[in-house]
Amino acid sequence: MRGRFWLLLGVAIGLAVSLGRLPFLAGAGRALADTSLHMVAGAARRLLAGAASSGAPRRAVLGVAGLLAVVLPGLTALLLVIAARATIRVRGLLAAVLAVLGVCSFFYEPGIRAWGALVLGLTLATLAVAVSGPVLVAPFVAAATLIGAQFLPTLFRSGRVAQEALSAVHVALFGAPATPAWLQVLMFGLAVLPFLLAARLALRA
Task: List, for residues 116-153, the tens digit of each pLDDT value.
Answer: 877 877 887 788 777 888 888 888 998 889 888 878 87
Nearest alpha-carbon partner for 173 in 88, 96, 60: 60
How far is the C-alpha of 73 from the C-alpha of 60, rounded, in Å? 21
- Domain enclosing residue 27, as ranges: 3-94+132-203
Structural domain contains residue 72: yes
Structural domain contains residue 111: no
Tens of pLDDT along the chain (205 residues) come to: 577 888 888 888 888 887 776 665 556 556 655 665 566 566 666 766 776 677 767 777 777 877 887 888 888 899 999 999 998 888 888 888 878 887 887 777 777 877 887 787 788 778 877 788 888 888 899 888 988 887 887 776 665 556 777 777 877 788 887 878 888 888 888 889 999 999 999 887 5
Q: What is the pLDDT of residue 205?
A: 53
How far is the C-alpha of 145 from the C-alpha of 151, rounded, in Å? 10
Nearest alpha-carbon partner for 127 in 100, 86, 91: 91
Structural domain contains residue 182: yes
How far is the C-alpha of 201 from the C-alpha of 205, rounded, in Å? 8
Structural domain contains residue 147: yes
Q: What is the pLDDT of residue 196?
A: 93
- Cα torsion through 48, 52, 58, 60, rounded to 10: -40
Structural domain contains residue 145: yes
Count how many domains the chain has: 1
Structural domain contains residue 152: yes
Structural domain contains residue 102: no
Structural domain contains residue 10: yes
CA distances 108 to 99, 102, 105, 116, 123, Å, are 15, 11, 5, 13, 20
